[in-house]
């Protein structure tokens, strides 16, 4: 039996990570969106270059609308009148709370820089490796452990197929739902966002049902 | 910390801390995960729920921005697919990285699956769904 942290230490650790990230960057921590942006780095880098070049808010809005249309399909919305009055951030539903950037209310609407998302994924690897080594749990192995062997499958080919299909479901599902256990589960539920509460209830509930089926039926 | 460099440093710190914490809680261990989802051991469930409780309190105290978010057509089917994938592979998008870092080499296959799934979703969304699914991690 491996010694893991007690529940209260885990709760404090996860909360500290999420709160610290949100307070220091005014953004939400989300691993699936980091994956998404890193995997589509060409289009994301194009948007970043436009963001860096553009000083005219109207051109920026049009560029973002075009990028959104490219990602989700459909036609970009008609451009705003050239001399339209500046929008009121509160009227647009933007944040004007003390944690927001008071110099530029639009700054935190832009996604985190692409390189920082790649750094997040690499840092997760390093953090996990440090934890495994310092706890004496690091062992190179070609299986997923006794639990996986007993509950899912002990055949290597079936294991590879299960992990691949499971990974596809995780990747597809998290992007379709707009977040994962960190984005919806910690950041979103922490903000009591209805969409995150619904997503978390559904993915946790589904995982409970499937886990019981694997444990008791298959 | 809201400049490009600041966000980069914050992401590195968050990644290191998240990887270290999640690995030490045991989310990378399939047996522990199954025990959590089947309520045989409530330790990891309490860690997750406890974290959410602490975050709710701190975010309320700090008056952190609360974006209502839009419940679109992809939320429920996406969450069902994710929950199924998590239960059978033992991985959410961060966990296979931690599993590989802990020496579980087959988790590379899970990562390959996650990559295919994410690319497939964007392709399908552009071509068929046309959903603005939003994103939690911006």
Find, among B133, B27, B69, the residue nearest to A33 by Cα: B133
A136 Rama class: left (phi>0) / alpha (psi -120 to 50) / beta: left
From chain B, pick out residues whose CB is under 8 angstroms from the CB of A69. Answer: none
From chain B, pick out residues whose CB is under 8 angstroms from the CB of A165. Answer: 85, 88-89, 113
**pLDDT tens digits, one per residue of A79-106:** 444 433 334 333 333 333 333 344 444 5
User: What's the gap between Cα A96 and its chain centre?
Assistant: 24
**pLDDT tens digits, one per residue of B11-45:** 999 999 999 999 999 999 999 999 999 999 999 99
Find, among A42, A119, A177, A108, the residue nearest to B97 by Cα: A119
Find, among A94, A44, A21, A114, the residue nearest to B4 by Cα: A114
Domain ranges of chain B: 1-66, 71-133
Res A1: pLDDT: 57
Nearest residue of A to residue B87, measured between CA atoms: A207
Joined together, the tokens standing for residue A100 give: 């927001």
C-beta of residue A156 within 8 angstroms of C-beta of residue A149:
no
Give CA–CA dist A162/A149, Å, rounded: 12
Torsion angle, alpha carbons of A191, B6, B92, A35, to 10: 120
Whether residue A167 and residue B66 make contact (CB cut-off 8 A), yes or no, is: no
- The complex's ipTM works out to 0.94
From chain A, pick out residues whose CB is under 8 angstroms from the CB of B10. Answer: 20-21, 24-25, 116
Which of B129, B136, B138 is the best substitution to test chain A (most A C-beta atoms within 10 A)?
B136
Res A78: pLDDT: 52
Complete DSSP assignment for A186-214: IIIHHTT-HHHHHHHHHHHHHHHHHHHII
Domain ranges of chain A: 20-81+106-140, 144-217
Residue among B42, B52, B110 whose CB faces A189 most closely: B52
Give CA–CA dist A13/A3, Å, rounded: 16
Report the interhelical angle of A31-39 vs B107-124 (nearest 10°).
70
Task: Please tell me the distance in Å from B52's CA to the nearest CA on chain A.
Answer: 5
Report residue B97's pLDDT band, with 50, 70 and 90 as the boundaries: very high
Whether residue A36 and residue B122 make contact (CB cut-off 8 A), yes or no, is: yes
Average pLDDT estimate for B105-132? 94
Joined together, the tokens standing for residue A44 give: 């994301």
Average pLDDT estimate for B84-97? 95
Low-confidence ranges of chain A (pLDDT < 70): 1, 54-61, 70-109
Whether residue A163 and residue B37 make contact (CB cut-off 8 A), yes or no, is: no
Whether residue A35 and residue B114 make contact (CB cut-off 8 A), yes or no, is: yes
Name the phi and psi angles at A195, rounded to 5.
-65, -35
Give CA–CA dist B95/B110, Å, rounded: 10
Res A144: pLDDT: 96
Report residue B122's pLDDT band, with 50, 70 and 90 as the boundaries: very high
From chain A, pick out residues whose CB is under 8 angstroms from the CB of B123. Answer: none
The Cα angle at residue B81 between residues B79 and B82, in degrees rounded to 5: 60
Whether residue A173 and residue B103 make contact (CB cut-off 8 A), yes or no, is: no
A81 Rama class: left (phi>0) / alpha (psi -120 to 50) / beta: beta
Find, among A195, A214, A198, the residue nearest to B38 by Cα: A214
C-beta of residue B84 within 8 angstroms of C-beta of residue A141:
no
How many residues are there in chain B?
138
Give, in order, the Cα–Cα distances in Å from B97 to each of A126, A127, B20, B23, B106.
9, 10, 12, 10, 11
Find, among B94, B34, B25, the residue nearest to A137 by Cα: B25
From chain B, pick out residues whose CB is under 8 angstroms from the CB of A159. Answer: 106
Q: pTM value? A: 0.84
State whether residue B30 is helix, strand or coil.
Answer: helix
Whether residue A169 and residue B54 make contact (CB cut-off 8 A), yes or no, is: no
Whether residue A173 and residue B79 make contact (CB cut-off 8 A), yes or no, is: yes
Whether residue A40 and residue B20 make contact (CB cut-off 8 A), yes or no, is: no
**pLDDT tens digits, one per residue of B43-74:** 999 999 999 999 999 999 998 877 767 899 99
How many residues are there in chain A?
218
Residue B100 has pLDDT above 70, yes or no: yes
Task: Please tell me the distance in Å from A102's CA to the nearest CA on chain B.
Answer: 11
Task: Please tell me the distance in Å from B29's CA to the nearest CA on chain A.
Answer: 8
Q: Which long-range contacts (CB under 8 A, 24 or more apart) does B37-46 make?
A: B37/A207, B37/A208, B37/A210, B37/A211, B37/A212, B37/B87, B38/A208, B38/A211, B38/A212, B38/A215, B39/A208, B42/A7, B43/A4, B43/A6, B43/A7, B43/A10, B44/A7, B44/A10, B46/A7, B46/A8, B46/A11
């Amino acid at each position: 039996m491996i010694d893991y942290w007690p529940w209260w230490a885990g709760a404090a650790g996860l909360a500290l990570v999420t709160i610290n990230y949100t307070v220091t960057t005014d953004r939400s921590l989300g691993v699936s969106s980091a994956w998404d942006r890193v995997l589509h780095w060409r289009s994301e880098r194009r948007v970043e270059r436009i963001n860096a070049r553009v000083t005219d808010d109207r051109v920026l809005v049009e560029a973002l609308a075009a990028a959104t249309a490219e990602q989700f399909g459909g036609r970009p919305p008609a451009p705003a009148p050239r001399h339209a009055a500046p929008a009121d951030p509160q009227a647009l539903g933007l944040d004007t709370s003390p944690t927001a950037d008071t110099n530029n209310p639009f700054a935190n609407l832009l996604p985190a820089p692409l390189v920082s998302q790649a750094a997040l994924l690499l840092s997760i690897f390093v953090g996990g490796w440090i934890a495994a080594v310092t706890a004496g749990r690091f062992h190179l192995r070609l299986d997923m452990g006794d639990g996986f062997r007993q509950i899912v499958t002990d055949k290597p080919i079936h294991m590879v197929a299960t992990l691949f299909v499971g990974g596809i479901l995780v990747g597809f599902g998290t992007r379709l739902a707009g977040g994962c256990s960190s984005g919806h589960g910690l950041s979103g539920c922490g903000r009591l966002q209805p969409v995150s509460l619904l997503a978390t209830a559904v993915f946790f509930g589904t995982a409970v049902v499937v886990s019981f089926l694997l444990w008791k039926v298959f | 910390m809201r400049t490009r460099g600041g966000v980069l440093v914050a992401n590195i710190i968050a990644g290191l801390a998240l990887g270290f914490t999640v690995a030490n809680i045991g989310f990378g261990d399939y047996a522990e995960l199954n025990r959590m989802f089947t309520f045989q051991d409530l330790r990891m469930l309490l860690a997750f729920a406890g974290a959410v409780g602490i975050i709710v309190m701190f975010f309320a105290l700090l008056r952190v921005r609360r974006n209502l978010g839009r419940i679109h057509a992809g939320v429920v089917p996406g969450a069902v697919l994710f929950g199924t994938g998590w239960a059978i592979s033992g991985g959410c998008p961060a966990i296979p990285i931690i599993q590989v870092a802990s020496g579980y080499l087959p988790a590379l296959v899970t990562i390959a699956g996650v990559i295919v799934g994410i690319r497939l979703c964007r392709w399908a969304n552009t071509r068929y769904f046309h959903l603005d699914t939003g994103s939690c991690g911006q």
